[in-house]
Amino acid sequence: MDIGFIGLGAMGSAMVANLLKAGHRVRVWNRSPGAAQTLAEQGATVVGRVQDAFAGDAVLSMLADDRAVRAVLLDNGVLDGAPVGLVHANMATISVALAQELAERHAALGLGYVAAPVFGRPDAAAAARLNILAAGAPAARGRVQPLFEVLGQKTWPLGDDPVRANVVKIAGNFMIASAIESMGEAAALTASYGVAAGDLLEILTNTLFAAPVYKGYGGQIAESRYEPAGFKLTLGLKDVRLALEAGEGRAVPLPLASLLRDGFLDAIAHGDGAKDWAALARVAQRRAGN
């Protein structure tokens, strides 16, 4: 297919490389030009204006957050100039409010819109092992499904309303942060009785909690290994805020999300904002005087 790809961070770059390998023609655009050059060597066409990428059979975007999506796609009229019928799959983790706004704008302009946030870090993107949550009109989803098959291990269909995919992604990240908090408190408790975090977590992550999230973050907590950051703590705060805002929009109290938010702020206040979000576990330790 002849596609555009917008946003070449660690995630986007890995995804484009896979699309190129699978034989797709990809026009790429990024705010800063560095990443584009590497992909040009792998066969991508680098375009200088975002609207040149927003064309072809379909366009995928993988931008950092609401602010970036708004700046790149909404504030400068890119959508207004896009060819009617073009399908856009937005793979970023964004707020449900922006997701709703985007869905409406695309519909008003006769553009297809698929919300397709993913679970998986850059290494999973590189290995084409992403889990893709896809929601949008069936025809639009059908158009980009062949691309998703290149990018991920599985596409999880979530119906016609794009917001549904975003809220599931937000809920998933909230659950990950909850798991970190839970391990952090459990480790602070057992440490006070002389049991090292590693001893606790080795048992639990090999039995009841033998899941990727617990094994991964549990390993980091056991070793107090929070640098380099796989996912920055400040981004964790952002994602918990997305959960709280989504809840507020529907009057859904989320006391555990509130607790996480306060914990992330505590971590940031103590200088851990740029560390991996597993460093949330240090807050539990610090509360106990350690």
Which residues 8-37 are close enough to bind its own copies by CB under 8 A?
A: none
On whether the CB atoms of residues 143 and 167 are closer than 8 A, the answer is no
CA distance 89 to 132: 11
CA distance 25 to 42: 11
Question: Is 275 among the residues known to form the active site?
Answer: no
Q: CB nearer to its own copies: give 27 or 141.
A: 141
Binding its own copies (rule: CB under 8 A), the pick from 21, 49, 67, 270 is 270
CB of 287 to its own copies, least distance (A): 4
On whether the CB atoms of residues 283 and 275 are closer than 8 A, the answer is no
CB of 179 to its own copies, least distance (A): 7
Stretch binding its own copies (CB under 8 A), from 10-18, 21-29, 42-50, 191-199: 191-199
Binding its own copies (rule: CB under 8 A), the pick from 164, 229, 235, 275 is 164
On whether the CB atoms of residues 167 and 117 are closer than 8 A, the answer is no
The yes or no reply on residue 172 touching its own copies (CB under 8 A) is: yes
String of DSSP letters for 67-82:
HHHIIIIITT-TTTTS
- CA 13, 63, 241 angle in degrees (round to 5)? 130
- 37 dihedral zone (left: phi>0; alpha: psi -120 to 50; beta): alpha
The yes or no reply on residue 97 touching its own copies (CB under 8 A) is: no
Structure tokens at 48: 């200088």
Binding its own copies (rule: CB under 8 A), the pick from 57, 65, 101, 266 is 266
The yes or no reply on residue 67 touching its own copies (CB under 8 A) is: no
Active-site residue, selected from the candidate residues 21, 169, 215, 232:
169
Burial 158-173, CB ≥16 within 10 A → b, else e:
beebbbbbbbbbbebb
The yes or no reply on residue 182 touching its own copies (CB under 8 A) is: yes
The yes or no reply on residue 240 touching its own copies (CB under 8 A) is: no
CB of 41 to its own copies, least distance (A): 33
- 43 dihedral zone (left: phi>0; alpha: psi -120 to 50; beta): left
The yes or no reply on residue 80 touching its own copies (CB under 8 A) is: no
Q: 6: closest CA among 56, 21, 23, 22?
A: 56
CB of 264 to its own copies, least distance (A): 8
CB of 198 to its own copies, least distance (A): 12
Binding its own copies (rule: CB under 8 A), the pick from 58, 128, 167, 279 is 167
Binding its own copies (rule: CB under 8 A), the pick from 64, 91, 134, 186 is 186
Q: CB nearer to its own copies: give 24 or 164.
A: 164
SS3 content of the chain, % helix, strand, coil (to 5): 55, 15, 30
Catalytic residue positions, numbered:
169
